[in-house]
Amino acid sequence: MKAALVGTDGTLLHEARRATGRERGADAVVETILAFAADLRAHGEEHLGESAVAAGVAVPGIVDAEKGIAVYAANLGWRDVPLRALLETRLGVPVALGHDVRTGGLAEGRIGAGRGADRFLFVPLGTGIAGAIGIAGAIEAGAHGYAGEIGHIVVRPDGPDCGCGQRGCLETLASAAAVTRAWAAASGDPGADAADCAKAVESGDPAAVRVWQDAIDALAAGLVTALTLLDPGTLIIGGGLAEAGETLFTPLRAAVEERITFQKLPHIVPAALGDTAGCLGAGLLAWDLLSTEVSA
């Protein structure tokens, strides 16, 4: 878990990390979150001279932000946790709950790589592939909270089985996890990962180039579908694969440009905030909550 005290202008005033401890079970994870938040509030009181005035928390899985409920997270083993209410009781301040990717996207859009962009799409390439749709300074969650799930666009109908039940989803072909699997198989090294593949691409290894280009082709196909539907001005790519820098971005920009016909090519840029995006985004959610209360 990553946590921070965040100022009104998005400045990180204090950062902390703590093990989630998911092996102890869902209830223990929830208690760890509550204790971590309380410790953070106490740190502000002791070292900054004032308590936090609101809190934001970003969690993975299915989130009902309006009701403040963490509906389901496979990795954490929880279902229907009233996290907002629990935190408000523990902290005594208003709490905003958000989805981790959408919250990170909010930060990238407002104070990161998408700053000044009225319409943007944030796509982190990690274990899976998700997306956050930015519109006028806010993130579009969709009617049921599922908007932006670009990783489950089918780009190759005859492709690998996906955990969602479909075949050939984008994340089975172009996520960091997918590149890791493909490169481990192609290199014969079960310990090789996506970062190793990128290094091999840079050194001109033909097998690595094939694996890398295959992922980029799939990614470009999925992104063009997203561009066709959303027409963003800026496309922000983050996550583990983006750490490859221009080894990823140069061929990706070319592959997207090659595929578009009538669509407008957006600015394709790397994410700027790294793994602090979630903390900053949670802070922005908290400040937004206060702004809403004031205006109401």
Concatenated DSSP letters for 73-123? ETTTTEEEE-HHHHHHHHHSS-EEEEEHHHHHHHHHHHHSTTTT-SEEEEE
3-state secondary structure of 164: coil
Tell me the C-alpha distance between 69 and 225, whole Å: 31
Residue 77's pLDDT is what?
82
Residue 10's pLDDT is what?
78
Instruction: Say if residues 123 and 130 touch (Cβ distance below 8 Å).
Output: yes
Residue 37's pLDDT is what?
94
Residue 264's pLDDT is what?
96
Instruction: From 237, 280, 1, 4, select the one nearest 126 (Cα to Cα).
Output: 237
pLDDT tens column, 57-110? 999 888 898 899 999 887 788 889 999 999 999 999 999 999 999 999 999 999
Residue indicated by tokens 């905030």: 273
Instruction: Say if residues 228 and 235 touch (Cβ distance below 8 Å).
Output: no
Give pLDDT < 50 ranges for the chain: 296
Residue 9's pLDDT is what?
79
Residue 296's pLDDT is what?
47
The three-state DSSP-derived secondary structure of 249-260 is HHHHHHHHHHHC
